[in-house]
Amino acid sequence: MNVTVVVQRRRVIFEDRFHRWDMGQQTGDEGSTETEAYLERVLDRLRHSYDLTADRTVDGRTFDWYGHCRIEHQKSFLHPSISYGDHASLDHLFVQRRDGVEQSDLTEFAEVAHSIASDWIDPSPTHYETSFTFAVLVPELSPTVESFVSEFTDRTLLRYGLHGRYDVAFVVAAPSDQQMAASPEAEVARAFSFTELDPPEKPSGLRGRLRLLFG
């Protein structure tokens, strides 16, 4: 039996964002410059695996960046044309910079995910999982928010799981202090690490292959 993973992505739209980074560096705002440099490093990690678009408005809220990654898991027997058990996993990433974030703000993001889920997900036997991850960059990460994010889980089964599921997760990072909190289901959190990424281990399962994308 052969197992094939097909990743559909690699279209990056940067628009004039880099020009804005240069302008930010000229202002001498140290905190802003650190955030921009950090965001640039994160986007550089993501762009190999995600379609990235700047200034995306979703459900009335504007995000600095939106990213989309789709992984198709295909099993074949003897020949690629003889396949079975095909299913797909999708990850939607929303990145926003803010002056601060509270638990109520994150709860509103979760409500956005539930609001758009019915339009963004095509439930079917081949749909395995969809993730909605909201990444927020702030000047400071409070203990309350860190605790809330680290323990937050929100999973919805579609037709009792027969048509897959979807998860909501958060990543909150404070580049100035190099602090970060991530939900257990936020697989993309590795791209927001403040340290250089270690060489990826041999992947195991779909989630392992998703982590491999950021190696």
pLDDT in tens, 61-101: 999 999 999 886 655 444 454 444 455 789 999 999 999 99
Q: Which of 214, 168, 210, 189 is nearest to 5 (CA)?
A: 210
Give the pLDDT mean for 115-141: 93
Beta strands in the chain (DSSP E): 2-8, 12-13, 51-58, 61-77, 79-97, 127-137, 154-157, 165-174, 179-182
Give the pLDDT mean for 184-206: 75
Helix (H, G, I), strand (E, B) or coil at 101: coil
DSSP secondary structure of 10-24: --EE-TTHHHHHHHH
Q: In this predicted structure, what is the pLDDT of residue 30?
A: 58
Give the pLDDT mean for 116-145: 94
Position 183 pLDDT exceeds 90: yes
Q: Predicted confidence band at 162 (pLDDT cuts at 50, 70, 90)?
A: confident
Q: Which of 137, 136, 134 is nearest to 36 (CA)?
A: 137
Q: In this predicted structure, what is the pLDDT of residue 112?
A: 97
Q: In this predicted structure, what is the pLDDT of residue 81?
A: 47
Q: What is the mean pLDDT of the chain?
A: 79
Give the pLDDT mean for 161-172: 93
d(CA 9, CA 116): 21
**Range scoring the smallest mean pLDDT among 22-26, 73-77, 79-83, 127-131:** 22-26
Q: Predicted confidence band at 126 (pLDDT cuts at 50, 70, 90)?
A: confident
Contact 143, 160 (CB under 8 A): no
Q: Which of 113, 209, 211, 127 is nearest to 164 (CA)?
A: 127
Q: In this predicted structure, what is the pLDDT of residue 210?
A: 53
Cα–Cα distance list, 65 to 3, 89, 100, 154 (Å): 32, 20, 18, 22
Q: Which is more confidently placed, 14 or 87? A: 87
What predicted TM-score, i.e. pTM, was given to this entire model? 0.75
Q: Which of 190, 115, 103, 108 is nearest to 147 (CA)?
A: 103
Q: How many Cα atoms are found within 13 Å in the side-chain-facing hemisphere of 30?
A: 2
